[in-house]
Amino acid sequence: MTLTPGGPEGVLAVTPREFPVNRGGLCQKGWTSATLLSAPDRLTAPLLRDRATGETREVSWDEALDHIATRLLHLRVEHGPDAVAVFGSGALTNEKAYILGKFARLALGTSQIDYNGRFCMSSAAAAGNRAFGLDRGLPFPVTDLSGAETILLAGANPAETMPPLMGHLAPAGRRPRLIVVDPRRTPTAEAALRGGGAHLQPAPGTDLALALGLLHLLVTEGHTRTPRREGYRSTRTSGWAQARRAAAQWWPERTESVTGVSVADLRQAATALGTARRAYVLTGRGTEQHSKGTDTVSAWINLALALGLPGTEGSGYGCLTGQGNGQGGREMGQKADQLPGYSSLTDPVARERVARVWGITPEELPGPGRAATELLDALGTQDGPAAMLVVGANPAVSAPRSHHVAERLRALRFLVVADFVPSETALLADVVLPVAQWAEEDGTMTNLEGRVLRRRAAQAPPPGVRTDLDVLRGLAVRLGRRAEEFPSDADTVLAELRPATAGGAADYSGLDPVRLAAGEPLHWPLPAHRPAGTPRLFLDRFAHPDGRARFHSADHRDAAELPDEHYPLYATTGRVLQHYQSGAQTRRVPELVAAEPEPYVEVHPDTARRAGVSDGAPARVVSRRGTVRARVREVASMRLDTVFLPFHFPGEGAANALTNPALDPVSRMPEFKVCAVRLESA
């Protein structure tokens, strides 16, 4: 999209551009995004808080940065480099994510850095890496989806979260058969039913059993035994026998008893997938945000591999990203265990490469640190960080067990937040730094199909506001680093990150800024010897050394917490059309607030009656970790055993006050999507 003059009172106006992914369309959040540039409570000067009184005062940039550097240096001397932590964001540009990781490891010397993308796509990334040897959200262009006969979409609601994508999932004139897996009858599920598709409505936390049951049917009904599919598995995969044995235990009646999805619906979905010549399996947050999210995504990948979809023209498996730079944000080194180029922090070759670019020895690079949930839980404890810098995130609302996370943030000896509005996390900070918004800075982002996109500033930031790159440079110099090690110009950072990623899974070394500026479609890997890029991965071989994809077998296991007599209902969370993430931005757009002004809980009418509540009445949703106040919405399509809450609201309406911080053992993803609750009248 572009920003042009002509909005009310001189505010820039948003105009959509023709682009392969959105085809000239925008969602409501996109249309109203320019409103944020002039939010009434926009921060325009650094703020310093007096802990004794709680009052804040405006200070100069020099005073703020000097104060931060002094405090951080003191804590490092007193407790060591890991006394200072950094928390980043999947909304940062590639350049900012790269410099933030460099700042943590070089200027601070800390291993304690992670980001909110850990809550977003980490399970799909882990599953994709172990299946294919490489993780890219969609290993094919989005436009390929329009040619599908059948698309299975598990745990995603793009009709509300990515409305322009629906033009590919349900194009006018010719609709793929869309099968939606979701505990709720979402607008996406409604679209599937209107188009002659299906909605499979499992109990929260049972997607793994559902995937195993569908694979069982594909095998027993002969869909996996065609010559093409057998040839694909024998030459391009390994581990099929074990995966088939695991699925053999999930006959249709057993799958129905665990998931609640009828045998008839299971058979219909298996037939639609098994008979399609061109099919896709896509997953989203609903499959990932579980204590078994990696295994659940692997089960859906197994389904795709059994049918010979990945690495095939016109078919495939992919994962839908969740944040503005969800793909690029996890490739540039702001994750606890990664270096730029999507490289492992424990890989000696990657450490040598990055150290050479940074002008240090590999031994100077810290090792892996804590993942996001564990990092936040350790804040202010005897063995945890005493200080934290938060850039572009709002964990006081977005993290699991959010009220507990807010307590941990308060327990820090020093908290610094860089943001453009006083988010709930910023309100807890000792220093708040006002930084530029998306329309006020240059940089690149990488979309869900691995295409690198160039973004140019449409206007200068307000007086007193600096870019994140400026802030990190100013702090790095005060911490003893040379200014040239931390460029504040995005193009200069891009020139540095290219060799820093060379040879990594996400290789940007061949990225040509001239071609990028001209709008050429440049998809990573973009190695210097193949600068044309790779729009479609795996057509010849997968990224494992032997070129084969891996089936990964896992059996269904229960969620970490199940309903009981005290907490008889499942609660699941998600997004709505008008709001985004923690809501810190969208709750400042009048048009969006008018459409969805307050927290609510969706409940089946019979469930509401049993709990003594009614449509429109205030209610309490109570888990073992917290209580949420929300207005009841009776929805006849809800499961009787499930309630739904959007997670965009703070305070008494914060849905993540309920959620379970139980972690996936591989991805360290928290179990956002299922916990046990009870419903009460308020």
Residues 6+ apart with CB under 8 A from 405: 376, 377, 395, 396, 399
Q: pLDDT over 70 for what percent of the chain?
A: 98
The rounded distance, in Å, linking the Cα atoms of 549 and 532 is: 24
Domain 122-320 fold is: Dimethylsulfoxide Reductase; domain 2 (3.40.228)
pLDDT at 509 over 60: yes
**Whole-number CA gyration radius for the chain:** 24
The rounded distance, in Å, linking the Cα atoms of 259 and 250 is: 11
Comparing 11-25, 133-147, 555-569, 630-644, the range with the smallest average pLDDT is 11-25
Global confidence as pTM: 0.94
Closest CA to 481 of 490, 472, 489: 472
- Give the pairing type, strands 150-154 and 431-434: unpaired
Q: Residue 664's pLDDT is what? A: 93
- Find the helix or strand (DSSP H, E) in which 408 lies: helix 402-411
The rounded distance, in Å, linking the Cα atoms of 302 and 312 is: 15
Q: Residue 171's pLDDT is what? A: 62
The residue length of the chain stands at 682
Comparing 159-163, 451-455, 628-632, the range with the smallest average pLDDT is 159-163
Per the CB < 8 A criterion, the answer to whether 524 and 508 are in contact is: yes
The rounded distance, in Å, linking the Cα atoms of 271 and 255 is: 16
Classify domain 569-681 by CATH architecture: Beta Barrel (2.40)
219 is written with which tokens? 């095998």
**What letter would DSSP give residue 382?**
T
- Whether omega before 525 lies within 30 degrees of 0, making that bond cis, reads yes
Q: Domain ranges in the chain? A: 1-31, 41-119+326-517, 122-320, 569-681
Q: Residue 172's pLDDT is what? A: 59
Domain 41-119+326-517 sits in CATH 3.40.50.740: yes
CA distances from 232 to 228, 235, 237, 548, 649 (A): 6, 5, 7, 10, 47
pLDDT at 348 over 80: yes
pLDDT tens for residues 209-251?
A: 999 999 999 999 999 999 999 999 999 999 999 999 999 999 9
